[in-house]
Amino acid sequence: MGLARGAQIYITEVGLTCALGRGLNVVMDALQANECGLSLHDVHGYPTAVGRVNTVLNVEEPFLSTRDRSTHLALDAVAQTSGLRGYDPHRIGLFWGVGLAGAHWIESTYEQYFSDLAASRLSPWTVPAIMPNATASTLAMKYGVRGACWTTANACASSALAIGQAMQAIQSGHVDAAIVGGSDAMLVPGMLHAWARMRVLARVVDKDVSLACQPFDQNRNGLCLAEGAACLLIEKGDVLQRQGRKALARLSGFGQSCDAMDLTEPSVSGQVHAMQQALKHAGLQPGDIGYLNAHATGTRNGDRVEMMAVNKVWGQATNQCPVSTVKSALGHTMGAAGAIEAVICVGILARKWVPPTLALVTPDSEFEDRWLPAGHGVDMPELTHVMSNSFGFGGTNASLVITKE
């Protein structure tokens, strides 16, 4: 379902930590330089690539020793912003998306437990560290958020849905501002092996790592798992005006749907509904969207279904809106993907530049009617509205529309 149009909601600050670096400007510079943040990795004989965060995290004690890496990443992303200091804490909400909470903590705990069952002394922090809401609660404590604290765990759509929930909370009057975003960190042996067993990880054999993940390409063969986090500070328009602060962009539309069909197979109709609801909420037509940041993970069926949905939404104007994905450059960050890509869309609007799908060499003939930027991207001086898609296992779909004022 979509939201009723109400108070205008603005993005005022952002934070971003991913395989391409720390901070939106750093990541945008890397994208414009055609850099790839992926690195080769072997999973029990399955050659793939992953997107690791290699920057030093700006995380203060006491959170280091009692929190999972996904929470460390979240703390680092929010630390790049003011954290909405100065607001009445009861008028601030915290809305956060996660894919799998506590993967690093779980892995190390099992290693310790099974190494010596009799002598194992597991940390008393294990249960609170792996709760799905551990990250959101930690952020709420650190930044004194008392208005609301929500965790969304809907696979790859998690943080896009968290952004939508925050919009709904502001438009309904429950809060005036919110810290929203998502984080995920599951690059541990057990989880990588589980993903490899699904045969959805990109298989990288005799291939440049920059070509590991190839959405839309005829040779695509899977996704590249990655870690990361992103944060957006969003505020109600009239409050923002009273305080005299400037906005980076406006959150103008949100749509969501559930396929109610299959745990792993995507549905054209579900994705169509989410995109149409986002357009309706924004008061826009498909032709108003100047760029579509596709979910596009690089799996054969996933990319095909999304393009079928896009064709249904755009109709005859299928070649008038450029479509690309940044996952080929930084990997698929699962529960954090919606927030990370929303932040990147803010950068895209600011630079009036559409990034290429980095590893797109030979577009699949099925997608010949679409405009798929490759090479060095496309300058778009009139770019005003962008859409960002996030579709997750379980059949959960979310679409966001972001507007440059």
Q: Report pLDDT for 1.
A: 45
- CA 111 to CA 103: how far, in whole Å? 12
Q: Report pLDDT for 5.
A: 63
What does the pLDDT look like over 217-263, one tens digit per residue?
A: 999 999 999 999 999 999 998 878 777 778 999 999 999 999 999 99
Q: Report pLDDT for 7.
A: 83
Q: pLDDT class for 156, splitting at 50, 70, 90?
A: very high
Sign of the alpha-carbon torsion through 184, 180, 78, 326: positive
- The active-site residue, picked from 18, 36, 149, 156, is 156
Q: Which of 145, 372, 402, 198 is nearest to 281 (CA)?
A: 402
Question: 68 and 33 in contact (C-beta within 8 Å)?
Answer: no
Residue range 56-75: mean pLDDT, rounded = 79
Residues whose CB falls within 8 Å of the CB of residue 331, separated by 6 or more in sequence, listed in order: 19, 37, 38, 49, 50, 51, 213, 223, 224, 225, 226, 228
Q: Report pLDDT for 63.
A: 61
- The active-site residue, picked from 72, 273, 281, 332, is 332
Q: SS3 of 31, please? A: helix
- CA 216 to CA 218: how far, in whole Å? 7
Q: Judge whether residue 61 has pLDDT over 60.
A: no
Tokens encoding 166: 């925050």
- Number of H-type helices and E-type strands within the chain: 12, 15
Q: Judge whether residue 45 has pLDDT over 70.
A: yes
Q: 308 φ, ψ to 5°? A: -65, -40
DSSP state of 52: -
Residue range 59-74: mean pLDDT, rounded = 79
Residue range 341-362: mean pLDDT, rounded = 97
The larger pLDDT score, comparing residue 66 to residue 189, is at 189
Q: What is the CA radius of gyration of the chain?
A: 20
Within its chain, how far is the Cα of 24 from the centroid?
14
Among the ranges given (113-117, 138-142, 247-251, 366-370), the one the predictor scored with the smallest mean pLDDT: 113-117
Q: 23 φ, ψ to 5°? A: 100, 145
Q: Report pLDDT for 4.
A: 58
CA dihedral 327, 395, 193, 364 (to 10 degrees): -40
Q: Report pLDDT for 393.
A: 94
Q: SS3 of 387, please? A: strand
Q: Report pLDDT for 368.
A: 86
Tokens encoding 303: 């990319």
395: phi > 0 → left, psi -120 to 50 → alpha, else beta; which?
Answer: left
Q: How far is CA 256 from CA 86, 259, 262, 274, in A?
A: 32, 10, 17, 4
Give the residue extent of every domain in the chain.
9-403
Residue 224 designated active-site: no
Q: Report pLDDT for 376.
A: 93
Tell me whether the omega of the peptide bond preceding residue 62 falls within 30 degrees of 0, making it cis.
yes
Q: pLDDT class for 62, splitting at 50, 70, 90?
A: low
Long-range contact set of residues 265-269: C-beta below 8 Å, sequence gap at least 24: 265/301, 266/301, 266/302, 266/305, 266/306, 266/391, 266/395, 267/305, 267/395, 268/305, 268/308, 268/309, 268/312, 269/309
Q: Report pLDDT for 9.
A: 96
Residue 385 designated active-site: no
What does the pLDDT look like over 77-123, one tens digit per residue?
A: 999 999 998 899 999 999 999 998 898 888 888 887 787 777 677 88
Q: Report pLDDT for 119.
A: 66
- CA 256 to CA 157: how far, in whole Å? 9
| CATH number listed for the domain at residues 9-403 | 3.40.47.10
Residue 295 designated active-site: yes
